[in-house]
A and B are shown apart, each in its own frame.
Chain A
Amino acid sequence: MSATTGGSRRLHSKLHYRLQHYGVEAACLTLGFILFVWSLTPIYNMWLIALSEHSAVFSGNLWPQEVSLEAFWVVFTQGFWYLERFWHQFGNSFIVGLSVMFLTLFIGSLASFTVGRMRLRQGWMLTNAALMTYVIPASFLAIPIYRIMNLYGLGNHLSSVILALTSFATPYAIFIFSQYGKSIPMELDESARIDGANPMQIYVWIYLPLMAPALVAVGTYALLLAWNEYLYNFLLLSTPQSMTVAVALAQFLNSDESPWNYMMATAIIYSVPPIVLYYGFRRYMAAGLTMGGVKG
């Protein structure tokens, strides 16, 4: 075999390789573009409607002919009768979100401390209870919980939503805390015991500080869960005084004549806190989801 044929063959395969490489790159870019459009279209649609003037909403434009901030202004100044108490309701959403977050962290960490660190003999019952709650879809319990909240006298009170949502967020908390707690050496507890610390002191001074990453992950999870939840908010809170933003937003759907640009502006403002929170704590959230098997 002469050197020239070998060389041309090598050149040929190099060319072939390069073409294949470009082909793969082009396919990946195309897929990337499709994913980009797929992910952003409904979000763009939200902005498109929110930035249109009321009359332009129905014109079927693909981009706003005249960008108008009127809808946002109306929401900010509570200038529409569905939005009369918007900022109050926004505050309600924050109260619900923060309460669910703190209660979930508090109750969940205490429970996982007894099960994982103190090893209460009946602890398995607690774990199983949490697991069972985790796999019951919340929407399936909505009707009896609605009845029961009225029995407890909590109807139309923020605490009804807070308690219901805490019950649904805590199992995940217990699960993550127990997994994460395995990475904290038991020797720490033991030495504290020898130094005469009581369980409360170990919980506050050793357990909680070392659990900080898990607390952040679960706290973010609980806050987002409460802020984004709709069904329980809707069923349990019905007066303008008590409702949260989610319920106020869905009110627009009660009539066919609603100003959809106001609705979308409300929707965007409602989405801002969770999105900011989500991207701010993304690292922790992702960690929390896979925290299952952190090793010490």
Chain B
Amino acid sequence: MSGTQQTVAIGRGFAGSRPARRAWLGGLHGADYLWAIAFALPYTALFLFFVVYPIGFGLWMGSSPALYTELFSDPRYIATVINTLLYVVIGVNVKMFLAFMLSGFFIRKRWWSKALLVVFILPWATPALPAYMSIHWFLNGQWGMLNSALWEVFGVDGPVYLNEHWTGLAANIGAYIWKTLPFWTVILLAGRMSVPQELYEAASVDGASRLTRFAHVTVPLMANLYLVCTLLDMVFALGDFNSTFFVSGGGPAMSTEVLATLGIRYAFTLAVPELGVATVMSALPLLIPLVIMLMRRLRMSEGQL
């Protein structure tokens, strides 16, 4: 199995995979059926005890309408919803656009591009916790590295980033982009490598300029993958806890919280778990449409990534 072979399929779906066939012709019988049930049992148990039961428990905890009237009358909650939307929409789309452009940069072979890719992937390989802690201190207003550098080079005092709402939120989003950009760049790079080279050659022969080739070959072939990645990362970003918790800590004065961190804060700092569950559940109107769109897209492309 070579690397290229594996990446080939990402753009095309696996239309070429073999049709469904039964090893056990005519269905499962007797002992075989029992074997099949036994093999399915561990996952079924795991799913029931640690997914279904918690979901049910959560729905029950957050079922009282009074919780939601309490939430909606809380200005901090409204601010959190806006933060979450900004975080998800800006963080994901800016990153995906950058990842798409960078995948075009990395696909051009240069002697140093391979080495750069190794360095470029480091943020993704680093665990979230140390990375975000480092970014937190990097942005420290008094002695953080960024402001020290600004002072050394330009002789200006930088702002105290994490003490203001907008710069704090931007720091969280920036940290999330920093951490996850390499991952999506690699995915889109694999997608680009799967575009058959002949298409570009044929377009060149027909006199297409570089821009035309990009607009009429790369973009249409990558569109579905790009959409799937965007939707999937929106789901991930919606549930992202670490970036907000460790970069700005939700501060100043809980003004940069997102739903994932506010829920935990209500449940464990303020010790009102029901309110925490209600906070998280209020993300469902955003999560469910995303998941439905994602499922549709995945089905269209036959389950890629």
Which segment, of B68-76, B133-141, B200-208, faces chain A?
Answer: B133-141
Q: Is A148 located at the chain interface by the 8 A CB criterion?
A: yes
Q: Is A179 located at the chain interface by the 8 A CB criterion?
A: yes
User: Closest CB-CB distance, B24 to chain A, in whole Å?
Assistant: 6
Would B127 and A274 count as touching, CB distance under 8 A?
yes
**Range class of the B interface residue count:** 35 or more
List of A residues within 8 angstroms of B291 by Cβ? 135
Would A227 and B127 count as touching, CB distance under 8 A?
yes
Q: Which of A132-191 contact B (CB under 8 A)?
A: 132-133, 135-148, 152, 163-164, 166-167, 170, 174-175, 179, 182-183, 185-186, 189-190
List of B residues within 8 angstroms of A227 by Cβ? 127
List of A residues within 8 angstroms of B39 by Cβ? 110-111, 113-114, 118, 199, 203
Would B122 and A43 count as touching, CB distance under 8 A?
yes
- Given contacts A143-B58, A231-B264, A292-B10, is CB(A198)–CB(B31) below 8 Å? yes
Q: Which of B57-104 contact A (CB under 8 A)?
A: 57-58, 61, 102
- Given contacts A139-B241, A186-B23, A199-B39, is CB(A42)–CB(B264) below 8 Å? no
Would A167 and B50 count as touching, CB distance under 8 A?
yes
Q: Is B168 located at the chain interface by the 8 A CB criterion?
A: no
List of B residues within 8 angstroms of A268 by Cβ? 130
Which segment, of A8-16, A68-76, A79-87, A275-283, faces chain B?
Answer: A275-283
Would B129 and A230 count as touching, CB distance under 8 A?
yes
Would A126 and B5 count as touching, CB distance under 8 A?
no
User: Closest CB-CB distance, B243 to chain A, in whole Å?
Assistant: 11
- Given contacts A39-B119, A198-B31, is CB(A182)–CB(B18) below 8 Å? yes
Q: Is B16 located at the chain interface by the 8 A CB criterion?
A: yes
Q: Is A35 located at the chain interface by the 8 A CB criterion?
A: yes
Q: Is A271 located at the chain interface by the 8 A CB criterion?
A: yes
- Given contacts A140-B280, A295-B9, is CB(A166)–CB(B46) below 8 Å? yes
Task: Give the docked Cα–Cα distance between A260 and B55 (Å).
Answer: 39
Which segment, of B108-116, B159-167, B215-223, faces chain A?
Answer: B108-116
Would B22 and A45 count as touching, CB distance under 8 A?
no
Give A255-269 as 1s and 0s: 1 = Cβ < 8 Å from B's Cβ atoms: 000001001100110
Would B134 and A291 count as touching, CB distance under 8 A?
no
Q: Which of B6, B123, B152, B264 meets A287, CB within 8 Å?
A: B6
User: Closest CB-CB distance, A233 to chain B, in whole Å?
Assistant: 10
Closest to B59 in A: A144
Q: Is B242 located at the chain interface by the 8 A CB criterion?
A: yes
User: Closest CB-CB distance, A205 to chain B, in whole Å?
Assistant: 14
User: Closest CB-CB distance, A101 to chain B, in whole Å?
Assistant: 15
Q: Is A240 located at the chain interface by the 8 A CB criterion?
A: no
Which secondary structure dominates chain B's binding surface? helix
List of A residues within 8 angstroms of B214 by Cβ? none
Task: Give the docked Cα–Cα distance between A136 and B283 (Å).
Answer: 11
Q: Which of A122, A213, A292 meets B303, CB within 8 Å?
A: A292
Which secondary structure dominates chain A's binding surface? helix
Task: Give the docked Cα–Cα distance between A290 and B133 (Å).
Answer: 31
Would B235 and A135 count as touching, CB distance under 8 A?
yes
Would A295 and B133 count as touching, CB distance under 8 A?
no
Closest to B191 in A: A290
User: Closest CB-CB distance, B284 to chain A, in whole Å?
Assistant: 9
Would A263 and B57 count as touching, CB distance under 8 A?
no
Task: Give the docked Cα–Cα distance between A117 and B23 (Å).
Answer: 7
List of A residues within 8 angstroms of B263 by Cβ? 139-140, 142-143
Task: Give the docked Cα–Cα distance between A42 and B264 (Å).
Answer: 27
Q: Is A193 located at the chain interface by the 8 A CB criterion?
A: yes
Q: A residues engaging B (CB < 8 A)?
A: 28, 31-32, 35-36, 38-43, 45-46, 48-49, 57-62, 106-108, 110-111, 113-115, 117-123, 126, 129-133, 135-148, 152, 163-164, 166-167, 170, 174-175, 179, 182-183, 185-186, 189-190, 193, 198-200, 203, 213, 227-228, 230-231, 235, 246, 249-250, 253, 260, 263-264, 267-268, 270-271, 274-275, 278-279, 282-283, 286-287, 289-296
Closest 9 CB pairs of A and B: A137-B239, A293-B9, A293-B14, A267-B130, A189-B23, A60-B148, A111-B43, A199-B35, A278-B125
7 examples of A-B residue contacts, CB within 8 angstroms: A60-B151, A119-B24, A123-B40, A167-B46, A253-B133, A289-B305, A290-B10
Q: B residues engaging A (CB < 8 A)?
A: 1, 3, 5-10, 12-14, 16-18, 20-24, 27-28, 31-32, 35-37, 39-40, 42-44, 46-47, 49-51, 53-55, 57-58, 61, 102, 105, 108, 110, 112-113, 116, 118-131, 133-135, 137-138, 142-145, 147-149, 151-152, 178, 182, 186-187, 190, 235-236, 238-242, 246, 249, 260, 263-264, 267-268, 273, 276-277, 280, 283, 287, 291, 294-295, 303-305
With A114-B39, A139-B264, A143-B263 already in contact, 15 other A-B pairs whose C-beta atoms are closer than 8 Å:
A45-B135, A115-B40, A119-B24, A126-B43, A129-B51, A139-B280, A145-B50, A147-B61, A167-B50, A264-B137, A286-B186, A290-B7, A290-B187, A295-B17, A296-B18
